[in-house]
Amino acid sequence: MSTPKILILGAGYGGLITTLQLQKRLNYNEAEITLVNKHNYHYITTWLHEPAAGTASADHARVSLEGLLNRDKVNFVKGTVQSIQSEAQTVTLENGDVLGYDYLVIGLGSEPETFGIEGLKEHAFSIRSINAVRHIREHIEYMFSKFKNEPHRTDYLTFVVGGAGFTGIEFCGELGDRLPELCEEFDVDPELVKVYCIEAAPTALPGFDPELVTYAMDVLERKGIEFKIGTPIKQCTPDGVLLATGEEIKSKTVIWAAGVRGNSLVEKAGFEVMRGRVKVDEFLRVPGHENVFVVGDCALIFNEEGRPYPPTAQIAVQEGETLGDNLAAMIRGELTQKFIPHLQGTLASLGKGEGIGQVGSKKLFGSTAAMMKKASDLRYLYKIGGVGLALKKVKL
């Protein structure tokens, strides 16, 4: 019998952890493992709001895959997936290469959810990759420099964040920290700078504990962020946003942080999806496809009350661990285990030394939450790259 081929698409939280788990569990001759990723690095998506605002370098949020993979066990292909053909059991890359598989793992992450709102795809930025956040940071700096040459254009100094979910809130925390530095660097009067965080729902962080939400909003307001709550964005133009209230905000910088959907390649592959995510079974399989598995933001799983879990790195990592173990077990003819998520809580940063969190029934505020978040980051870095990586990357 030929060696089974395992093909993993995407080296994000879900895909990388599946790969590392397989690397740990299997001997080099038990399976042919191939990992395909757009870049030769893994990025810490959960940190991307920092380089986007410019409070950390983009380099800080990426980790070379070279140092994580055992090349005796894993083939790495730097390439962009173009399409998946499940009938033929092949995947086509943008360069025309076709890769075959016996087992496929899809971990291609998410795309911004624009809900069909006009102009967002064309005119808004989103915090979704190293390349995207480099662009946001440069653009913000460019706006400050441009204003100095056209001082009547205060719209250059107006920044709109669409969505007060965790991504929007975390980005506002960082931007609030960066603004004083930018004002000083570009000799700009801080009074002229406006940051609007615009949320459609009747509250920021809908569904989160109200006391923690109030705390987060107070911290961000003190940093100069202005909230518009219960105010959906209806349209984005090259000149700003139009709100459902009829108000127009003139801005050359709209950061869309109003939710995500699964990578469109999954739907294009012909799998049934809800907002781009496959309702996987308890073994993370695509229904009707025994050998195709989905992890991370492309997978949709439900809690006991039948409500979908939000897509998080926390769940993607746990899925990757279970799937890695299961694939190793399947190859050895051993029993597999159902995936059961173990939620460890939610922690969000609000800029330097500030955060909020809920772990079980315990609410965390300020520096305690920020420290817990760092500890959780440390655990992840240790998991993928050992003590060396953890010490290199964590900012104390």
Say if strands 32-37 and 5-9 run parallel, antiparallel, or are unpaired.
parallel
Instruction: For residue 255, give Cα distances in angstroms to 4, 53, 127, 157, 163.
Output: 44, 11, 8, 14, 9
What burial class does residue 181 get, using C-beta atoms within 10 Å of its C-beta: 0-12 exposed, 13-18 middle, 19+ buried?
exposed
Of 50, 111, 113, 170, catalytic: 170
Measured from each CB, the residue nearest to ligand FAD is: 12
Query: Mask: binding to ligand FAD, 259-278, rule CB under 6 A, as x and -?
Result: ----x-x-------------
Give Cα 224 to chain centroid, integer Å. Answer: 25
Whether residue 267 contacts residue 276, with contact meaning beta carbons closer than 8 Å, is answered with: yes
- Using the rule CB under 6 A, is 344 a contact of ligand FAD? no
* Cα Rg of the chain, angstroms: 22
Q: Is 89 within 8 Å of 100 (Cβ atoms)?
A: yes
Site membership for ligand NAD, residue 346 (CB under 6 A): yes
CA distance 77 to 208: 40
Residue 20 found at the interface with ligand NAD (CB under 6 A): no
Active site residue 304: no
Instruction: Find out whether 393 and 67 touch, Cβ atoms under 8 Å.
Output: no
313 near ligand FAD, judged by CB under 6 A? yes
19 makes contact with ligand FAD (CB under 6 A)? no
Q: Yes or no: say if 179 and 159 are a contact pair by the CB < 8 Å rule.
A: no
Identify the residue whose tokens are 């399989």: 285
In the complex with ligand FAD, which residue's Cβ is closer, 45 or 89?
45
Query: Whole-angstrom Cα distance, residue 6 to residue 74?
Result: 10
x/- letters, 133..172, toward ligand FAD (CB under 6 A): ----------------------------------x--x--
80: contact with ligand FAD by CB under 6 A: yes
Q: Tell the smallest beta-carbon distance from residue 180 to ligand NAD (Å).
A: 24
Residue with tokens 């920092």: 50
Q: For strand 158-162 and strand 253-256, is the pairing parallel, antiparallel, or unpaired?
A: parallel
Residue span binding ligand FAD (CB under 6 A) among the ranges 11-19, 178-186, 325-333, 362-370 = 11-19
Minimum gap (Å) between residue 146 Cβ and ligand FAD: 26
For position 201 contacting ligand NAD by CB under 6 A, the verdict is yes
| Least distance (Å) between residue 94 CB and ligand FAD | 8
The count of chain residues that interact with ligand NAD, using the rule CB under 6 A, is: 27
Of positions 170, 177, 325, 354, contacts ligand NAD by CB under 6 A: 170
Residue pair 320/334 in contact (Cβ under 8 Å)? The answer is no
Among 8, 63, 198, 323, binds ligand NAD (CB under 6 A): 198
Nearer to ligand FAD, 49 or 73 (CB): 49
Q: What does the alpha-carbon distance between residue 11 and residue 51 come to, in Å, rounded to a whole number?
A: 20
Quickly count: other Cβ atoms within 10 Å of residue 387's Cβ.
10
Query: Of 389, 387, 295, nearest to 341 (Cα)?
Result: 295
Give, as ranges, the residues between 254 and 283 that touch ligand NAD (CB under 6 A).
Answer: 257-260
Residues with Cβ within 8 Å of residue 332, at least 6 apart in sequence? 30
203: amino acid identity, one letter: T
The rounded distance, in Å, linking the Cα atoms of 168 and 312 is 15
- Of 69, 91, 105, 108, the residue at the interface with ligand FAD (CB under 6 A) is 108
Sole binder of ligand FAD in the list 174, 199, 267, 297 (CB under 6 A): 297
Residue (31 or 316) nearer to ligand FAD, CB: 316
232 binds, among ligand FAD, ligand NAD, none (CB under 5 to 8 A by kind): ligand NAD
Query: Which of ligand NAD, ligand FAD, none is residue 318 near (CB under 5 to 8 Å by kind)?
Result: none
Q: Does 165 help bind ligand NAD (rule: CB under 6 A)?
A: yes
Maximum CA extent, the chain: 73
Residues found near ligand FAD in the complex (CB under 6 A): 10-15, 36-39, 45-46, 48-49, 80-81, 107-109, 127, 167, 170, 263, 265, 296-297, 311-314, 316
Residues tagged active-site? 170
Residues found near ligand NAD in the complex (CB under 6 A): 115, 117, 162-168, 170, 198-201, 206, 232-233, 257-260, 310-312, 346-348
